[in-house]
Amino acid sequence: MDVVLSDLRLPDHDGLELLGQMRKRGLRQPFIVMTSYAEVQNAVLAMKSGASDYIAKPVQPDILLQKIEDAMASAAATDSGASVGRPAALPADKRHGAAADMPASSVPQYLDGTSEASRRLYDYVSLVAPTPMSVLILGASGTGKEHVARRIHNGSRRSAGPFVAIDCGAVPRDVAASEFFGHVKGAFTGAVTDKRGAFVEASGGTLFLDEVGNLSYDVQVQLLRAIQERRVRPVGSAAETEVDIRLVCATNENLSEAVAAGTFREDLYHRINEFTIAMPELKDRGADLLLFADLFMRQANEELDRNVEGFDASASEKLTRHTWPGNLREMKNTIKRAVLLARGNRITAADLDIVVPVTVANVRPLHDAGSELERIKAALQYAGGNKSLAARQLGIDRKTLYNKMDKYGMNR
């Protein structure tokens, strides 16, 4: 027996009792609970009791298969004592600009949710994933756009191929061609070896371009050509290389307005937008909010070696009343701090460092009087972590913002 899939409602007992009996007898197999949309609190209780994951009914086969693979991969990593490595379900996963290796964990990295907004979101994911269509994911910072991109990849016919993610906002304009298309040794100062670009790395799989709206106009031209011709030419090379990618893009900007303003190419917009998925904000995901809070608490417990059991009534009320402008990213950081601060076995309202959301009126340009550091923090909070938007609010460019963040020792 490798994994257990159980409904919460069984003829004689229930799934929670079955889970409890298994754990008492030392059976540690991954346990996935099936639940209806109305049983959110029971799903939370099951995960607190040791369930690996849950899935909402009606069950969709591709989502169920992915959850089973993830649960078995996590269990295998835990049993082998591995300290690093991706789950076996994602062997070719690649991340540009970030470490690809992640610690093995028995706690899920994400959950789907049971709200109507979540159900609608993953219905669209299941619909488009098996197709070859390009997908544009729209949503505010911190809503989980990259997770949805990975789900599209995992549900596609390219799932055995690589998933390569590029943060377009973090790619300097002068090296963008090298990042996307590669270069040959000696192509420019500092090119001491050949480099495969993201298009070649992703060939046979999926290329995810995050914050695609941040690309400069000339890079958009090069990108459009590569998509249309399905071939790329590394910087400094006379030879072209054929590539076979599925393109998924994401942005927190209104690209149709950018097209109207002439800052984003209309032909590229239509190329990357064969199908659109809109990410719901955390405040619109109903009962999912407390499910995510519980997940982030469990992750923080594991990371910080703590044993917090849950939230008291005051903390739960504070969580549900907050608007979460930074969405899942803000909640994860807030709860991680709360787990560290909690003195008892439950998080209280006092442990939750939730502040009044910053509005654009509170963010002054950097040349105004006042604390530069505090204004940078305020701009980043207002922008939900989006560096380009924060820089615009401060009246500086993105590179200057990075330099100032380095000056104050702030994490990028």
Q: What is the pTM of this model?
A: 0.65
**For position 259, what pLDDT does the model report?**
93
Region class of 384: left (phi > 0), else alpha (psi between -120 and 50), else beta: left
* Residues 240/99, Cβ–Cβ less than 8 Å: no
- Assign domain 360-407 to a CATH class: mainly alpha
* Residues 318/312, Cβ–Cβ less than 8 Å: no
- Assign domain 4-82 to a CATH class: alpha beta
CA of 189: how far to CAs of 174, 175, 182, 184, 238, in Å? 12, 11, 14, 11, 18
Topology (CATH level 3) of domain 117-278 = Rossmann fold (3.40.50)
- Measured N-to-C along each axis, helices 288-304 and 327-341 cross at an angle, to the nearest 10 degrees, of 50
Question: The tokens of 333 are what?
Answer: 């950081």
* Residues 64/38, Cβ–Cβ less than 8 Å: no
Share above pLDDT 90 across residues of the chain, in percent, rounded to a whole number: 42
Give the start-to-end residue ranges of the domains of the chain: 4-82, 117-278, 282-351, 360-407
**Same CATH fold, 117-278 and 4-82?**
yes
Architecture of domain 282-351: Orthogonal Bundle (1.10)
pLDDT digits (tens, 9 = 90+) for 248-268: 999 999 999 999 999 999 999
Q: Phi and psi of 347, rounded to 5°? A: -75, 135
Q: Would you say residue 128 has pLDDT above 90? A: yes
pLDDT digits (tens, 9 = 90+) for 2-29: 889 888 777 777 788 888 888 888 888 8
Question: The tokens of 306 are what?
Answer: 């703590």
Region 187-206 average pLDDT: 83
Region 102-117 average pLDDT: 74
- CA-only gyration radius of the chain, Å: 23
Q: Which residue has the higher pLDDT, 350 or 17?
A: 350
Say how many residues make up the chain: 412
**For position 403, what pLDDT does the model report?**
82
- Region of poorest pLDDT, from 134-148, 250-264, 338-352, 379-393: 379-393
**For position 44, what pLDDT does the model report?**
64
Share above pLDDT 70 across residues of the chain, in percent, rounded to a whole number: 81
Q: Would you say residue 346 has pLDDT above 90? A: yes
